[in-house]
Amino acid sequence: MQNPYIPYPVVVDKIITEVDTKDIKTFRFKFVNPADEEKYKYTPGQFGELSIYGKGESPIGIASSPTQKGYVEFTVQKAGVVTSALHEMEEGAVMGIRGPLGNSWPISYLEGKNIVIVGGGFAFTTLRSLINYMIFEENRKRFGKITIIYGSRNPGLLIYKDELAAWQKRDDLNVNITVDKGDATWKGREGFVPTVCKEVAPSSENAVTVICGPPIMIRFTLPVFFDLGFSKENIITSLEMRMKCGIGKCGRCNVGSKYVCKDGPVFSLAELDKLTKEY
Amino acid sequence: MEKRLIKKDALAGIAKKMAGDIPVWAPVKEEDNVFFKPLQNDVEPFFAYLNSKNAPKNVFFPHTEMLLKYTRTEKGFVFAAGENKTGEAVLFGVRPCDAHSFVLLDKLFDQEKYKDGYYVDKRQKTTVITLACSEPPYATCFCTSVDGEPVSSEGADILITAIGGDCLVEFVTPKGEKLIKYFGENKADAAADAKKNEVASKAKAAIKSKIPAHEVKPILDNNFEHPFWNTIHARCLACGTCTYLCPTCHCFDISDEVKGADGVRIRSWDSCMFPLFTKETSGHNPRPSQKERWRQRTMHKFKYYVDNFNSIACVGCGRCVINCPVNIDIRKVVEDISKL
């Protein structure tokens, strides 16, 4: 059996600086041993432990979709010891990734339903994985209407700009990009995510919303979706906690009896209601 | 089940003889305390002990343990799993409460998905010999309230019970039977069994400290926000002694250590009593004060572990009660919760 504490060695294949502030980058990794890619079989919504020797590990959501073969991507904000070291790395460097860890977006539950994706800021990464998974040619017909509402504080902080532009051109996606405040070059929508959700007003009929963002965005967005008639079972989000082992043993990421690393990170609002508010 | 009778004073000789063939951990006296240590030529086992200062969980779950090691190269790193040098070993003379804790730790570390090989390997290769508490050692012992007994083979491969001047040795598992040759040829008769049963029921009756450990589960289910949680932690120093000494506490940290081009990734014991345990990079801490940390410790032992593994994560050894520098008593905490 695979030792869950040992990372797979990966090469940093490509680094994309996502934002003007340069502190959010997407890292594309290729497996040093090609056979490891099959072992790293993941589902959108899962995360991995990025492992830099001498620094430690950091749990980060997987930003690529399993339909993208040959590599795996993580979008990382520079924040602590590990992520700062990661941001200093160059293409060609070798490091490690562990996982895939945690549950995932509930793909089989989402199938046959209309999907509303709501993202704020940098917390868009595993949503991007889900979107790319759903719009993959062979998968698209398994899902109904797809509405995307994504916002950031300003245009320079939107991540995946090329993909956003490509998605906007598709006729099978309803894409709504917004910024809190635009700049001289911004021709798109201005407004906070909750407000835009109200304006777009996606129908709750046979629909599930998948929402990730800063707590303040989520707090003001939830009432909008309640008003639209979404049940708590059909509002799904993902939690973050400080983690180490990622496999429910080291004891720090539990919310009540549930471990975010192993039983989460994905929970429906109905499930979260049953947990304590210790996150 | 095979059974033997030995003289009580033969125990040390047996342990030392065994240690000549196979690594043996046994209680060893160091000043006023007793610790489980590997027996070596100049180290005498001490079986007339009450209980060890530390729980012997470190035999399977060391204070620090290498998970992997690595070497820096031009392009990055090459790494390998921590070498597993674990061979067969014997843990000789643990108390029934501590043997019980191994069964509880197994539930966490030895799961089908995500088996913790470092723990499981040592656990499987180690034979556990329990030395029953024919007379409960401390007034703070409360094993009978948490599914334990002072004379119990739970978690043991061999159970040794002192009955008068003799010891009855019971070989509980096939793993235990493999060591039968060290215990002589004197087979135990029915009279020894009867004597043991008598000792066991006397010992059980001698445990006077009782807590409503099972009764608090439904109360904890519904009282996460109860003002009671404002009352325990005020004098807690967050020293972590309770978690360090606890036989069932298993939280750990993972960190890297580098020396030149080489490094190791280690895990070391951590504690839910420490502020940094859950503090996130952003500065946010879901358990921001000692109140939440004390609630976590209590909940983990008497609710969360029950939810996840159907067992209370406390074996009633009383170490946290005896050693807390500010006299916080888990028995009192549980008692108070039962009255909420």
Q: Where are the alpha helices (DSSP H) in A180-239?
A: 193-200, 215-227
Is B265–A53 a contact, with Cβ atoms under 8 angstroms apart?
yes
How many C-alpha atoms does B59 have within 13 Å on its Cβ side?
32
Give chain B positions within 8 Å (CB) of A56. Answer: 254-256, 265
- Stretch B218-246: mean pLDDT, rounded? 94
User: Which residue from B70, B292, B303 is facing A53, i.e. has the nearest CB?
Assistant: B70
Look at residues B150, B176, B206 and tell me which one is the last residue of a structural domain: B206
What is the CATH number that goes with domain A107-237?
3.40.50.80
Reported as a pLDDT band with limits 50, 70 and 90, residue A50 is very high
Q: Does the pLDDT of residue B178 top 70, yes or no?
A: yes
Give chain B positions within 8 Å (CB) of A276. Answer: 224
- Kindly state whether residues B55 and B106 are assigned to the same domain: yes
Is B254–A244 a contact, with Cβ atoms under 8 angstroms apart?
yes
Mean pLDDT of chain B: 94
Is B300–A92 a contact, with Cβ atoms under 8 angstroms apart?
no
Would you tell me which CATH number, out of the four given (2.60.40.1930, 2.40.30.10, 3.30.460.10, 3.40.1260.10), belongs to the domain A8-101?
2.40.30.10
Q: Each residue of A249-266: pLDDT tens digit?
A: 999 999 999 999 999 999
- Kindly state whether residues B136 and B191 are assigned to the same domain: yes
Q: Does the pLDDT of residue B203 top 90, yes or no?
A: yes
Residue of B256, B277, B280, B308 to mutate when probing chain A, most A C-beta within 10 A: B256
Helix (H) or strand (E) holding A152: strand A146-152
pLDDT of residue A218: 92
Closest CA to B83 of B62, B68, B102: B68
In chain B, the number of structural domains is 2
| A3 within 8 A of A96, measured Cβ to Cβ | no
Token output for A268: 């429906």
| B104 within 8 A of B250, measured Cβ to Cβ | no
- Is residue B235 one of the residues assigned to a domain? yes
- Kindly state whether residues B105 and B168 are assigned to the same domain: yes
pLDDT of residue A65: 97
Percent of chain B residues past pLDDT 70, beyond the cut: 98
pLDDT of residue B23: 96
Asked if the peptide bond before residue B136 counts as cis, ω within 30 degrees of 0, the response is no
| B302 within 8 A of B213, measured Cβ to Cβ | yes
Residue of B221, B265, B280, B296 to mutate when probing chain A, most A C-beta within 10 A: B265
Q: Is A166 helix (H, G, I), strand (E, B) or coil?
A: helix
Q: Does the pLDDT of residue B82 top 70, yes or no?
A: no
- What ranges do the domains of chain A cover? 8-101, 107-237, 239-265+275-279
Q: Each residue of B254-286: pLDDT tens digit?
A: 999 988 888 999 999 999 999 999 999 989 999
| B82 within 8 A of B301, measured Cβ to Cβ | no
Q: Is B77 helix (H, G, I), strand (E, B) or coil?
A: strand
pLDDT of residue A51: 94
- Is residue B21 one of the residues assigned to a domain? yes
Give chain B positions within 8 Å (CB) of A4. Answer: 114-116
Whether chain B has a CB inside 8 Å of the CB on A256: the answer is yes
Is B280–A6 a contact, with Cβ atoms under 8 angstroms apart?
no
User: Which residue from A55, A95, A256 is facing B256, i.e. has the nearest CB?
Assistant: A55
Give chain A positions within 8 Å (CB) of B118. Answer: 5
- A 123-182 near B (Cβ less than 8 A): none
Closest CA to A4 of A122, A96, A120: A96
Using CA coordinates, name the residue in chain A closest to B254.
Answer: A244
pLDDT of residue A91: 94
Give chain A positions within 8 Å (CB) of B252. Answer: 244-245, 249-251
Cβ neighbours around B319 below 10 Å, total: 24
Q: Does the pLDDT of residue B168 top 90, yes or no?
A: yes
Least confident of A37-51, A133-147, B27-41, B76-90: B76-90
Integer Cα distance of B302 and B177 in angstroms:
35
Contacts for A124 with CB less than 8 Å, ≥ 6 apart:
A150, A159, A160, A212, A213
Token output for A218: 């989520």
Token output for A41: 């079989």
pLDDT of residue B84: 63
Give chain B positions within 8 Å (CB) of A254. Answer: 296, 300, 304
Is B251–A254 a contact, with Cβ atoms under 8 angstroms apart?
no
- Kindly state whether residues B162 and B64 are assigned to the same domain: yes
Token output for A158: 């939107």
Whether chain B has a CB inside 8 Å of the CB on A216: the answer is no
Integer Cα distance of B117 and B60 in angstroms:
11
Is B117–A254 a contact, with Cβ atoms under 8 angstroms apart?
no
Least confident of A75-79, B85-89, B120-124: B85-89
Helix (H) or strand (E) holding B296: helix B290-299
Integer Cα distance of B287 and B233 in angstroms:
13
Q: Each residue of A171-205: pLDDT tens digit?
A: 999 999 999 999 999 999 999 999 999 999 999 99
Q: How close B114 comes to chain A (CA, Å)?
A: 6
Provide the residue range defining the domain that includes B132: 3-206
Helix, strand, coil % (nearest 5) of chain B? 35, 20, 40
Give chain B's end-to-end CA distance (angstroms, integer): 46
- Kindly state whether residues B187 and B231 are assigned to the same domain: no
Query: Token match 């290498």: residue?
Result: B66
In this predicted complex, what is the ipTM?
Answer: 0.91
Reported as a pLDDT band with limits 50, 70 and 90, residue A276 is confident
Exposure string for A223-247, b = 16+ CB within 10 A, e = fewer: ebbeebebeeebbbbbbbbbbbbbb
Integer Cα distance of B267 and B254 in angstroms:
4
- Kindly state whether residues B164 and B225 are assigned to the same domain: no
- Stretch B73-93: mean pLDDT, rounded? 79
Q: Does the pLDDT of residue B83 top 80, yes or no?
A: no
Rg (CA), chain B: 22
pLDDT of residue B166: 95
Is A241–B300 a contact, with Cβ atoms under 8 angstroms apart?
no
- Kindly state whether residues B242 and B201 are assigned to the same domain: no
Token output for A230: 């979404």
Mean pLDDT of chain A: 95
Q: Is A123 helix (H, G, I), strand (E, B) or coil?
A: coil
- Kindly state whether residues B159 and B38 are assigned to the same domain: yes
Q: Does the pLDDT of residue A103 top 90, yes or no?
A: yes
Q: Does the pLDDT of residue A53 top 90, yes or no?
A: no
Interstrand relation of A114-120 and A146-152 (parallel, antiparallel or unpaired): parallel
| A180 within 8 A of A152, measured Cβ to Cβ | yes
Integer Cα distance of B34 and B262 in angstroms:
36
- Stretch B34-63: mean pLDDT, rounded? 93
pLDDT of residue A5: 92
Look at residues B172, B206, B240 and tell me which one is the last residue of a structural domain: B206
Q: How close A188 comes to chain B (CA, Å)?
A: 30
Give chain B positions within 8 Å (CB) of A1. Answer: 115, 117
- Stretch B30-52: mean pLDDT, rounded? 92
Reported as a pLDDT band with limits 50, 70 and 90, residue A1 is low
- Is residue B211 one of the residues assigned to a domain? no
pLDDT of residue B230: 94
Integer Cα distance of A158 and A120 in angstroms:
9
Q: Where are the alpha helices (DSSP H) in B25-169?
A: 96-109, 117-125
- Kindly state whether residues B320 and B284 are assigned to the same domain: yes
Residue of A239, A249, A274 to mutate when probing chain B, most B C-beta within 10 A: A249
Q: Does the pLDDT of residue B325 top 80, yes or no?
A: yes
Closest CA to B212 of B96, B331, B297, B340: B331
Is A241–B299 a contact, with Cβ atoms under 8 angstroms apart?
no
User: Which residue from A53, A250, A276 is facing B263, i.e. has the nearest CB?
Assistant: A53
Integer Cα distance of B72 and B260 in angstroms:
9
Is A251–B73 a contact, with Cβ atoms under 8 angstroms apart?
no
Residue of A8, A12, A30, A257 to mutate when probing chain B, most B C-beta within 10 A: A257
| A167 within 8 A of A131, measured Cβ to Cβ | yes
pLDDT of residue B259: 86
Give chain B positions within 8 Å (CB) of A80. Answer: 281
Reported as a pLDDT band with limits 50, 70 and 90, residue B78 is confident
Q: Does the pLDDT of residue B229 top 90, yes or no?
A: yes
User: Which residue from A5, A80, A248 is facing B281, i.e. has the nearest CB?
Assistant: A80
Integer Cα distance of B121 and B38 in angstroms:
18
pLDDT of residue B80: 74
Using CA coordinates, name the residue in chain A closest to B220.
Answer: A256
